[in-house]
Amino acid sequence: MAQEKFTFQAEVSKLLDIVAHSLYSHKEIFLRELISNASDACDRLRYEALTEPKLTAGDADFRVTITIDNKAKTLTVSDNGIGMDHDDLTGALGTIARSGTQAFVDQLDGEGDDKLAMIGQFGVGFYSTFIVAKKVEVLTRKAGGKDAWLWSSDGRGEFTIADAERDARGTDVIVHLDKKQDEFLDPARIETVVKQHSDHIGIPVVLKEKDGDRTLNTASALWTRDKKSITEDQYKEFYQHVSHSFDQPWMTLHNRVEGVLSYTNLLFVPSTPPYDLFHPDRKPQVKLYVKRVFITDDCEGLLPPYLRFMRGIVDSEDLPLNISREMFQHNPQLAKIKSGLAKRLFSELKKKAEKKPDEYAEFWGNFGAVLKEGIYEEPENRERILALARFKSTTQDGLVSLEEYVGRMKKSQDAIYYISGEDSEALLKSPHLEGFKAKNVEVLLMTDPVDDFWISAVADFDSKPFKSAARAGADLDKIKGGVKDKKKDADNKKDGEKDGAAAIEPLLAQFKVVLGAAVKDVRPSERLTESAVCLVTGEGDMDARLERILKQNRQAGAGDMTPRVLEVNPGHPLIQGLAERARTGDGQDPLIADAAFLLLDQARIVDGEVLADPQAFSRRLTAVMESGLKV
């Protein structure tokens, strides 16, 4: 078969260039990545050999071998793992088969000094080799196969694949070093890199030398060692190995559980969120081992989806070695491990939140939106997650817990009030909050899309129901105190003054006729103190933001939004002026009709909605302004 020439996927070409420049000061990372890949290849073959022992016949001792050739100026990393065939080479080394790759590369291309952290979120693996190489060759033969293949590229847009010869299974990555990279031909430099970055690898990493092979690493799986003997740097290197990242672990959980069910976990919470954390087909990345034999890194039953940011390994003593993908969903032992891991994490997060709230706030900023998915996905852990949840609020700096909120509630307040929207700064300016601010009532700001889902599934916290500040029936009049109550008491002392709500009844009646089906109702407002109008969700209707989210994802009916209630502020000068006009007119005033629609559109704009008919809005606005200029 003749040599075939291929072009890199566009995202790969761009990523190669970015990686080569951004990681140059950390160039030894390439060796860590090659050793990590070689170790993974051995792990995968060890698992395959459980059902097909012939795959490792005659060579069952797995190892990674490093060979230095000073004359050829090459560094070769070899393994006797599972190897690759032609399709594996084109798929693994020519494309990045990960969702959202293009969006990630576009974002990365625009970053400045944060590129290293960004790249760490993605993981570059094999491609980091081009930091130091002028050319890379991959000679490989798949276990059980007879054909060998040679992949070759200079990393500049193309690669070739050709027939080759290899005596046995496995892979050689031959790095043709650039002129300025002679340091990686020095055995002492190689030994330093391996000890620093790959000592935790569970199989021998061997340096081939003239006077015999020398093992450079401890060659025992890190999670099997005594915690007291493991340094923070070793934990960090293992985390970076399993996550293929460059950041530090924010939290490390290393535990051994013994009893009816025995397992060891070495899990990490990253300090930076993965770039595709919210991508719909994102998969968990915690590796499952059984009796130190790698089983899979795609086990959906090992951790709940809302903990998909976790990295690390779980090693079970009791699961069967031949556990299948179908068994992942139905194995009761795996379900117990899943439950135990979640509870362990919740316990550690609770300690961190209590002892180091500033550090916990950093975690919550990175992963809180994901963790909150568990409130409605896993009712059995709902209370634990609610206790860990943190929110911004209208009266406090920083983040507050639900427990803190309840502890500050007014005696006459019987609900936990919240408002949801895209941005906390915009929410703070919402007219829905005016009455709450006047009465000094704290309102939680919900800015994650998941908030609109979980809050509909939760009845209460500490026997206090959740109530939206943007929903009709907020019952503000029942809460005592604040500026509004003092003003109302003063107004009640004025004899002969007509009640504000009653005074605008003729106007409200005309608004209802003019607006028709565009609104569910028009009523006087208890919550408004400065704005003329606002839109609120009617009792029993879906929250407006949730409805918008569902429509965007085509999970709600097509067409217009459900009509909402238009609340009108009786004390606003504009409303009072219109009300006077409504009382003295004949009920057919075109200015009142235009004002009704303008005020409705104004309320929609404030809520972040797009006007359905901008032309009509412009025409009415012009007409009202013209009428104001007439003498």
In this prediction, residue 584 carries a pLDDT of 85
Average pLDDT of span 378-390: 95
Looking at per-residue pLDDT, the higher value among 61 and 459 belongs to 61
SS3 content of the chain, % helix, strand, coil (to 5): 45, 20, 35
Cα(79)–Cα(41) distance, integer angstroms: 8
In this prediction, residue 497 carries a pLDDT of 40
Q: What is the DSSP letter of 473?
A: -
> For 301-335, how does the pLDDT look when each residue is reduced to its tens digit (9 = 90+)?
889 999 999 999 999 988 887 766 666 667 888 88
Looking at per-residue pLDDT, the higher value among 452 and 274 belongs to 452
Cα(369)–Cα(347) distance, integer angstroms: 19
SS3 72: coil
> For 226-264, how does the pLDDT look when each residue is reduced to its tens digit (9 = 90+)?
999 999 999 998 998 888 787 899 999 999 999 888 999
Give me 10's structure tokens: 């566009």
Q: Single out the residue of 19, 257, 233, 234 nearest to residue 115, CA to CA.
A: 19
128: amino acid identity, one letter = S
| 419, 527 Cβ separation under 8 angstroms | no
Res 200 pLDDT > 90: no
Q: Which residues of 197-232 are buried (b: 16+ CB within 10 A; e: fewer)?
A: bbbbbbbbbbbeeeeeeeebbbbebbbeeeeeebee
> For 31-61, how does the pLDDT look when each residue is reduced to its tens digit (9 = 90+)?
988 998 899 899 999 989 988 999 999 999 9
Cα(83)–Cα(444) distance, integer angstroms: 54
Cα separations (Å) of 270 from 121, 233, 285, 312? 9, 15, 12, 10
> For 274-304, how does the pLDDT look when each residue is reduced to its tens digit (9 = 90+)?
777 877 666 678 989 888 888 888 777 889 9
In this prediction, residue 585 carries a pLDDT of 78
Cα separations (Å) of 36 from 88, 124, 197? 18, 12, 10
The whole-chain average pLDDT of the chain stands at: 85
In this prediction, residue 281 carries a pLDDT of 66
Domains located in the chain, CATH noted? 4-218 (3.30.565.10), 227-358 (3.30.230.80), 391-486 (3.40.50.11260), 499-631 (1.20.120.790)
Question: Which of 119-123, 191-195, 581-585 has the weakest average pLDDT?
Answer: 119-123
Question: Which of 110-124, 270-284, 356-370 has the weakest average pLDDT?
Answer: 110-124
Share of the chain above pLDDT 70, in %: 85
| 521, 589 Cβ separation under 8 angstroms | no
Cα(107)–Cα(127) distance, integer angstroms: 18
| 581, 574 Cβ separation under 8 angstroms | no
Cα(155)–Cα(133) distance, integer angstroms: 9
| 538, 565 Cβ separation under 8 angstroms | yes
Cα(325)–Cα(327) distance, integer angstroms: 5
The 8 Å CB, 24+ separation contacts for 484-487 are 484/435, 484/438, 484/439, 484/529, 485/439
Average pLDDT of span 187-192: 95
Give me 355's structure tokens: 């002892």
- Chain position carrying tokens 């929207």: 421
Res 97 pLDDT > 50: no
Looking at per-residue pLDDT, the higher value among 121 and 511 belongs to 511
Cα(622)–Cα(125) distance, integer angstroms: 61
In this prediction, residue 501 carries a pLDDT of 73
| 526, 476 Cβ separation under 8 angstroms | yes
| 594, 620 Cβ separation under 8 angstroms | yes
Say what the pTM is.
0.78
**What is the chain's Cα-based Rg?**
32
Task: Indicate the helix (H) or strand (E) that contains 565.
Answer: strand 564-568
Q: Which residues, in sequence order, are bridge partners of residue 534? A: 567
Q: For residue 146, what are the contacts with CB-CB under 8 A and spacing of at least 6?
A: none
In this prediction, residue 543 carries a pLDDT of 83
Q: For residue 346, what are the contacts with CB-CB under 8 A and spacing of at least 6?
A: 381, 384, 385, 388
Q: Which residues, in sequence order, are bridge partners of residue 85? A: none
Q: What is the DSSP letter of 247?
A: S
Environment class of residue 621 by beta-carbon count within 10 Å: exposed (0-12), middle (13-18) or buried (19+)? middle
Cα(151)–Cα(256) distance, integer angstroms: 42
